[in-house]
Amino acid sequence: MNSTQHDMAFPPPGTPTAVLRRHFPSLVVWALLLAMPYWMGAVGGYTELASRVVIMGLAAMALNFLLGFTGVLSFGHAAYFGLGAYGVAMTIKYLAPSTPLGLLVGLATGTAAAMVIGGLIRKLRGVYFAMVTIAFGQVFYFVVFRWNNVTGGDDGLTGWRRVPLHLGFANVPLEASDKAFYYFALAIFAACVGAMALILRSPFGRTLVAIRENERRARFLGIPVEQHIWLSFVISALFASVAGGLYALLNNFVDPRALRWDMSGNFVIMAVLGGMRSFWGPLIGAAIFVVLQDYVSSQTENWMSFVGAFFVLVVLFFPRGVMGLLRRRVPR
Amino acid sequence: MSQLILFNVFNGLIVGAFYALMALGLSLILNLSGVINFAHGGFLALGAYIAYTLMPFTGFWGALVVAPVLTAIIGLIVERILIRPLYGRDPLYSLLLTFGLAYVLEDVARAIWGAQSVPFPIPEMLTTPLSKEFFFLTGYRIFMVVLVAGAVAALFLILNRTRLGMRIRAGTSDLETVSTLGVNVRILRNLNFGLGIYLAGLAGVLAAGMLGLEPTIGTSLIMPSFVAIIVGGLGSLPGTLLGGLLIGVASGVTTVFFPSATEAVIYVMMGLVLLIRPRGLLGEEGRLT
């Protein structure tokens, strides 16, 4: 590639073309998301499925904040996702029929749990970090499972429904319209994803990437690595618990499977499938996974074999994910 | 009351022996190859189902001998085909792969042998209680404890006295040097994986005799095995053994006083260990990565 071609492919930064080019992928993603309830039907889906894509996408992107951008392998994010879900469900059922309050309680519960557990595990790395996060994820599963007079135990928490959102100037009929709920979920998704993008662009976010690339060097530079990893863990769990809250609202129901280890595995495979090194990758992975799961479980009883074989195939033949593949094809 | 406590301590010891047997296999594989074998519970179930299938032909004793060996052979094949390509890559990938494998194994067991639990008959000589006062001391339970103790002793003998065992231990501390000295590391990892799966298969046969047999039998044992490894100490097999027994007894005792915390107590123990001694009770220093 000679220099003139190079100049054509990369206009000088700051010009409108350069700005447009840099943000082009994000613009496409947002356009697709905004219109999703309208094109989902055309490809055989339905609005609820679109909501699930957005919610699982948020969970996978939250996990990837830790996995892809800090380089720490957490295999227990279902715990925070599930705590967020139970936080919402129990608030609406027992405390007050308010969606924002529920989401706040769910967020606070998940984040508080992550602060404690993150403090215990921040010194561990690699496989051991993964193993401890898996094991700790199960604590909350057993708590919910055993405390059945409050949480509904194995049968899940029923007897509550999502409630309309009062914004002061307008009522959003979340309970009546799937589309209204989709756009509500998308608005929260946008806020969370925007926040994550801002954090990753800040000096703190850059430091996380530095830790991922070379932890020892980061340590030599005087960066308090353990504090950074702890904070990244907490931020990641915070957004995961928001996703969990939305998940409970979507289903009008929550059961212990929302915080079991297989859910954690699903989040990781979504991130890997989409591409861990890419900001939007996990959303793409979540979309593929959710749609596939919906299709396969309607076709066969042996969906576990399919999901399992899918994991194996992705790891063996597709480890860099969709975005990894795209990036390799497009010349830089 | 004291009998009740004794009963639960003994019960906990048996459960702990299962955890330990399973965790030792996991630990072997983890220490040498850096792979968290999430499918370990699936292999455990597989061992039990193979024994169940063999039993009409070989009887209980024959199945007890043959089934773990067959499971180990399946383990060798799985390692060769699926796990070997992942060595040297981010541990994330082997974890995800074995995670998927666990799904597949459970579903295969369900497809072949059915989702309902199947009866797993054990010889009559083992089912009778040994004394009236200590009703819980059935022959089978004593037999299990003896067998697990024997298996653990044999494992440590293999590791300490045989060439293979020495290479496994050496590889655990420095695989590259072992490779440079002319040991075929691929075969070493393969055999080591098989050894770990053998222990899972053995645990499966024994567990099925006590708990009955259903496709999810392995799933309930794998999380405590992770806890056993962490509590006992990273990189230390005696630590893993100790951790398994310790959490088994702890959950047994908790059943007496606070039954709803039976499962949660081991995670509390893990939290305490991580807080006070992050490398685990008998863990080596500098093994946190």
Q: Are the beta carbons of B247 and B231 closer than 8 angstroms? A: yes
What pLDDT, in 10s, does the model give residues A262-274?
Answer: 899 999 999 999 9
As a whole number of angstroms, the distance between CA B159 and CA B168 comes to 7
Nearest partner of B64 among B143, B6, B128, judged by Cα:
B143
Residue A69 located in a structural domain: yes
Sorted by sequence, the CB contacts under 8 Å of residue B108 that are 6+ apart come out as A305
Asked if A72 contacts A131 with a C-beta cutoff of 8 angstroms, the reply is: no
Enumerate the H helices of A68-161 as residue ranges.
Answer: 78-90, 99-121, 126-146, 148-151
> What integer pLDDT is reported at residue A332 of this predicted model?
42
Q: Is B34 on the interface with A (CB under 8 A)?
A: yes
Respond yes or no on whether ipTM tops 0.90: no
- pLDDT tens, residue by residue, A215-257: 999 999 999 999 999 999 999 999 999 999 999 999 999 999 8
How far apart are alpha carbons A6 and B27 in whole angstroms? 52
**CA dihedral sign, ordered B230, B236, B240, B242:** negative
Instruction: Note the pLDDT of residue A247.
Output: 96
Give the whole-angstrom CA distance, residue A271 versus residue A133.
17
Let me know if residue A147 belongs to a domain: yes
Helices (H) and strands (E) in chain B, counts: 10, 0
8 Å CB contact of A131 and B102: no
Residues on chain B touching A128 (C-beta within 8 angstroms): 230, 234, 287-289
Q: Are A99 and A166 in contact (CB under 8 A)?
A: no
Count of A–B CB contacts within 8 Å? Answer: 129
The domain locations on chain B are: 2-276
For residue A7, name the pLDDT band (cuts at 50, 70, 90). very low
* Record: contact A308-B103, CB cut-off 8 A: yes
pTM: 0.90
The CATH number given to B2-276 is: 1.10.3470
CB contact under 8 A, B107 and A304: yes
Comparison of pLDDT for A317 and B135, the residue scoring more:
A317
Residue ranges of B 259-278 with Cβ closer than 8 A to chain A: 260-261, 263-264, 267, 270-271, 274-275, 278
Report yes or no on A219 lying in a domain: yes
Query: Do B240 and A105 form a contact (C-beta atoms < 8 A)?
Result: no
Nearest CA among A316, A131, A134 for reference residue B30: A131
**In this complex, is the C-beta atom of A318 within 8 Å of any C-beta atom belonging to chain B?**
no
**Closest to A154 (Cα-Cα) out of A247, A259, A255:** A255
Smallest Cα distance from A313 to chain B, Å: 8
Residue A282 token pair? 């996990």
Give the pLDDT score at A221: 94
B223–A134 C-beta distance less than 8 A: yes
The domain containing residue A231 runs over which residues?
Answer: 45-259
Distance from CA of B131 to the nearest CA of A (A): 35
Q: How far apart are CA B110 and CA A303, in angstroms?
A: 12
pLDDT tens profile A96-136 = 888 899 999 999 999 999 999 999 998 888 888 988 898 88
Mean pLDDT of chain A: 88
Beta bridge partners of A165: A172
In this complex, is the C-beta atom of B234 within 8 Å of any C-beta atom belonging to chain A?
Answer: yes
Beta bridge partners of A172: A165
Give φ, ψ of A171 to 5 degrees: -105, 130
Residues of A in contact with B99 (CB under 8 A): 265, 308, 311
What is the number of domains present in chain A? 1
Cα separation values, B15 from A134, A290, B52, Å: 21, 38, 21
Q: How far is A261 from chain B (nearest CA, A)?
A: 10
Chain B CB within 8 Å of residue A63 CB: no
Number of helical (H) and strand (E) elements in chain A, helices listed first: 16, 2
Of A94, A60, A71, A98, nearest to A265 by C-alpha is A60
Distances (CA, A) of A129 to A125, B173, B234: 5, 20, 11
Phi/psi zone of residue B134: left (φ > 0), alpha (ψ -120 to 50 degrees), beta? beta
- How far is CA A55 from each of CA A241, A246, A303, rounded to the nearest angstrom? 11, 7, 22
- Maximum Cα interatomic distance, chain B, rounded to a whole number of Å: 61
What Cα–Cα distance (Å) separates residue B2 from each residue in A82, B5, B245, B260? 40, 5, 20, 21
Using a CB–CB cutoff of 8 Å, tell me whether A150 touches chain B.
no
The reply to whether residue A142 touches residue B91, judged by beta carbons under 8 angstroms, is no
Q: Residue B234's closest chain A neighbor by CA?
A: A128
Tens of pLDDT along chain B (289 residues) come to: 677 888 888 888 888 998 999 999 999 999 999 999 999 999 999 999 999 999 999 988 999 999 999 999 999 999 999 999 999 888 889 999 999 999 999 999 999 998 888 888 888 777 776 666 666 677 888 888 899 999 999 999 999 999 999 999 999 888 889 999 999 999 999 999 999 999 999 999 998 888 888 888 888 888 899 999 999 988 889 999 999 999 999 988 888 888 888 888 898 899 899 888 888 888 876 655 5
Confidence of residue A9 (pLDDT cuts 50, 70, 90): low
Mutate to test the interface with A, among B31, B78, B92 (most CBs of A within 10 A): B92
Q: State the virtual CA torsion across A294, A110, A114, B271 in degrees, nearest 10.
A: -90
- Residue A241, CB half-sphere, CA atoms under 13 Å: how many? 28
